[in-house]
Structure 1
Amino acid sequence: MEIALPPHINDVKGFLADDEAKALYEQALSVAERGPVLEVGSYCGKSTIYLGLACQQKNSVVYAVDHHVGSEEHQLGEMFHDPDLYDAGEGRFDTFKEFRRNIRLAGLDDTVVPIVATSEVSARHWHTPLAMVFIDGGHSLDAALCDYRCWAGKIITGGVLAIHDLFPAPEEGGQAPYAIYKMALASGLFEPIARVNTLGLLRRI
């Protein structure tokens, strides 16, 4: 399936492989008529753009939840710190300006709804059923568990749960996303759709 991507897509900072991005787009396209999509962990908006392009076709929306101050691994001195995204004046990591720019250049201002907050705060009074949830937030066990517990139960029957950065072997990467993936399967609420690279896709039963 060909996707009409914005010209700047390859310049958008992020950690999403092309096959994972295409899979997210296809899954969002398949369910977006039934309700909105929500992602946790937007970073600079790469995944948001793929989800947004699918939702735009179906007159749906993407709620993009991210506090935009970076996860543990993005902070000063950590492995994935990007000095271009560090606001020296504020003394903290800040991806929101870059995120807004990328969404605007993609023509998705009327499709993407940024929510600049944590999962816990965003979900506290959330009542809207969701057609798809994409979890790609903090990779500590506490953060991943919080994201899963906040949002998995809000997915409609037949909706999609996508979890990024699944590494079954500890030497390949952090285990928290894989832990919540296994938790979803063990819950009896989800069945597997596919695994695409490090992206796990499940359907709400």
Structure 2
Amino acid sequence: MSTLPTHIGQVEMAEVKGFLADDEAEALYRHGLASAPMGAVLEVGSYCGKSTLYLALACKAHNSVVYAVDHHVGSEEHQPGEMFHDPDLFNANDQHFDSFAEFRRNVRRSGLSDWVVPLVAPSTVCARHWQTPLAMCFIDGGHSLDAALSDYRCWSDRVMRGGILAIHDLYPEPELGGQAPIAIYRLALASGLYEEVERVNSLGVLRKR
């Protein structure tokens, strides 16, 4: 039986924009609960906050926080004319994609503001002077090979021994989806530093040896 909450505060989770399936969300929440007592939790690619809220709820149980890294101007696939563009998130006044207002609204209405630290900047900028070891890192940022590799190189070394590295949108067959996330997943396994814990739908979960 699923333990995943359907409502968090005033937020109906089924209505939050995002691409996280329920079984993937439940796995994130479960690993967040197990990881938060050990140290910091961080995600790369918050979008409108669906994964953020599940990780924040897990962190709340242990008085920890989730660091939510996202520049909020959209990845390549979110831009006008692209497959995953959402016109509701396009700022017509400034003529650019902007998911931050929706993200803040969801965090505020969830009642989890004290357990979410938004880092509104590119992943590379956030990682530049990062010193805190990560008990869990969830990578779900840009899906170009350059973006995925950059996120992996920025954050995988910062995961503590015994910590979790979770990567979203793993598709073994190219016709099912982009290959950048599964490329960095395979890179992590090939490094010998990580072992596979589980695969849930398109979410892969690794533990650092």
Matched, 1:49 2:53: yes
Question: Which residue number corresponds to residue 83 of structure 1?
Answer: 87
Matched, 1:186 2:187: no
**26-35 or 1-10, which deviates more:** 1-10
User: Quick one: which of 147, 164, 168 aligns to 2:168?
Assistant: 164
Matched, 1:117 2:135: no
Question: Which residue number corresponds to residue 68 of structure 2?
Answer: 64
Question: Which residue number corresponds to residue 14 of structure 2?
Answer: 10
Map 1:148-163 onto structure 2 (within 5 A): 148-163=152-167
- 3-state DSSP of counterpart to 1:105: helix
Deviation at 1:130, TM superposition (A): 0.6
Q: Which amino acid aligns with 1:168?
A: P
RMSD (Å), alpha carbons: 0.8
> d(CA) in 2 for partners of 1:99 and 1:171?
31
Please say if residues 161 and 208 of structure 2, whose CA atoms lie closer than 8 Å, have aligned partners that are also in contact: yes
Deviation at 1:11, TM superposition (A): 1.1
Please say if residues 3 and 26 of structure 2, whose CA atoms lie closer than 8 Å, have aligned partners that are also in contact: no
Question: Which residue number corresponds to residue 37 of structure 2?
Answer: 33
> d(CA) in 2 for partners of 1:186 and 1:60?
31
> d(CA) in 2 for partners of 1:15 and 1:2?
20
Q: Which amino acid aligns with 1:111?
A: W
Q: Please list every run of 5 or more consecutive structure 1 residues that lacks an aligned counterpart in the other structure.
A: none
Deviation at 1:3, TM superposition (A): 3.5
Normalised TM-score (structure 1): 0.98
Q: Can you list the C-alpha shifts for 1:32-84, whole angstroms capped at 9, x where unaligned?
A: 00111000000000000110100000111000000000000000000000000
Deviation at 1:106, TM superposition (A): 1.0
Runs of 4+ that moved beyond 6 A: none
> d(CA) in 2 for partners of 1:34 and 1:157?
11
Question: Which residue number corresponds to residue 142 of structure 1?
Answer: 146
Q: Please list every run of 5 or more consecutive structure 2 residues that lacks an aligned counterpart in the other structure.
A: none
User: Quick one: which of 75, 99, 102 aligns to 1:98?
Assistant: 102
> d(CA) in 2 for partners of 1:40 and 1:125?
16
- 3-state DSSP of counterpart to 1:48: helix
- 3-state DSSP of counterpart to 2:42: strand
Q: Can you list the C-alpha shifts for 1:16-43, whole angstroms capped at 9, x where unaligned?
A: 0000000000001011001110000000
> d(CA) in 1 for partners of 2:198 and 2:12?
29
Deviation at 1:177, TM superposition (A): 0.1
